[in-house]
């Protein structure tokens, strides 16, 4: 197993367009997390799944954001009608169980022009 | 609301020095604390995880301590090398998923 993977690594889009990111967690991990990181800041929690169930969403996750994990394996994060303020690194992490070590992917860098 | 602070924000040291990075958190009701390394433009690499019942963890030249009652953790790096240059982040997990500090940007000068 090669760890958590994310696709694409970089995305440039125009304001108002929709974008979708994918995360593939470590295969046996049942928990999957999404974070957002802006320059000079630590990552901020967005949402997490246990298997296919979305258990918690941050107030940062506006109604333009939606995340899914349909079969409890990979997850997608979609941003509709992107805004310049959405420009950030979107990080995915996975863990085995509750409150255990989280392993992060390489991130998707989003630039909204 | 849990808040995590890391001091200093940036640190520059000559190669070979031992150094300490500090992390403090406001709510001591945590389950574990995790230290990460982040290279520019990259994802996070987990360095050490300390569970709330533990006082310290060691991995190679790294030693992390946890004083839950005072809301503090330190990451000690022995015999620093230029390859240690990166941003170091601490994060705590309590009743909500990981809450991160802003990190300490470390530069080790050869």
* Residue pLDDT, tens place only, B12-63: 999 999 999 999 999 988 999 999 999 998 899 999 999 989 999 999 999 9
Contact residues, chain A, for B99 at CB < 8 Å: 45
Q: What would the two tokens of residue B16 be?
A: 């070979």
Whole-number pLDDT of residue A43? 95
Q: A45 vs B93: CB contact, 8 Å cut-off?
A: no
Select the more confidently predicted residue: A1 or A95. Answer: A95
Give per-residue burial for A13-32: e unless 16+ CB within 10 Å, then b.
Answer: beeeeebebebbbbeebebb
Q: What would the two tokens of residue A1 be?
A: 């197993």
Q: What would the two tokens of residue B74 be?
A: 């330190």
pLDDT beyond 60 at B83: yes
Count of A–B CB contacts within 8 Å? Answer: 55
Q: What percent of chain A has pLDDT over 70?
A: 99
How many CB atoms sit inside 10 A of residue B41's CB? Answer: 11
pLDDT averaged over chain B?
A: 94
3-state secondary structure (DSSP) of residue B82: helix
- Which of B38, B44, B86, B105 should we substitute to test contact with A (largest number of A Cβ atoms within 10 Å)? B44
pLDDT beyond 90 at A72: no
- Which of A6, A39, A42 should we substitute to test contact with B (largest number of B Cβ atoms within 10 Å)? A42
Whole-number pLDDT of residue B1? 86
pLDDT tens, A19-55? 999 999 999 899 999 999 999 999 999 999 999 999 9
> In degrees, to the nearest 5, what angle opens at C-alpha A91 toward C-alphas A1 and B56?
75
Contact residues, chain B, for A91 at CB < 8 Å: 43-44
Candidates A35, A21, A9; CA nearest to A77 is A21
Lowest mean pLDDT among A84-88, B11-15, B92-96: B92-96
Contact residues, chain B, for A99 at CB < 8 Å: 31-32, 93
Which among B41, B46, B97 is the nearest to A101, CB-wise? Answer: B46
Give the whole-angstrom CA distance, residue A8 versus residue A89: 11
Whole-number pLDDT of residue B74? 97
pLDDT beyond 80 at A1: no
pLDDT beyond 90 at B101: yes
3-state secondary structure (DSSP) of residue B109: strand
Q: What is the mean pLDDT of residues B73-88?
A: 97
Q: What is the mean pLDDT of residues A8-17?
A: 97
């Amino acid at each position: 197993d090669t760890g958590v993977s994310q696709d694409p690594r970089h995305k440039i889009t125009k304001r108002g367009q929709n974008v979708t990111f994918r995360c593939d967690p470590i295969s046996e991990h049942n928990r999957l997390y999404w974070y957002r990181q802006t320059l000079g800041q630590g990552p901020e929690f967005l949402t997490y799944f246990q298997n296919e169930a979305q258990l918690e969403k941050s107030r940062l996750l506006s109604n333009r954001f939606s995340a899914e994990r349909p079969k409890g394996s990979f997850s997608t994060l979609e941003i509709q009608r992107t805004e310049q303020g959405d420009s950030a690194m979107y990080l995915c992490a996975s863990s085995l169980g509750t409150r255990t070590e989280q392993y992060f992917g390489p991130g998707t860098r989003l630039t909204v022009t | 609301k849990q808040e995590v602070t890391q001091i200093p924000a940036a640190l520059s040291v000559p190669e070979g020095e031992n150094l300490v990075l500090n992390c403090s958190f406001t709510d001591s009701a945590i389950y574990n604390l995790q230290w990460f390394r982040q290279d520019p433009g990259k994802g996070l690499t987990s360095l050490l995880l300390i569970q709330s019942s533990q006082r310290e963890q060691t991995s190679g030249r790294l030693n992390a301590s946890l004083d839950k009652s005072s809301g503090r953790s330190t990451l000690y790096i022995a015999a620093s090398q230029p390859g240690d240059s990166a941003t170091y982040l601490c994060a705590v997990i309590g009743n909500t998923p990981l809450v991160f500090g802003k990190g300490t940007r470390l530069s080790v000068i050869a």
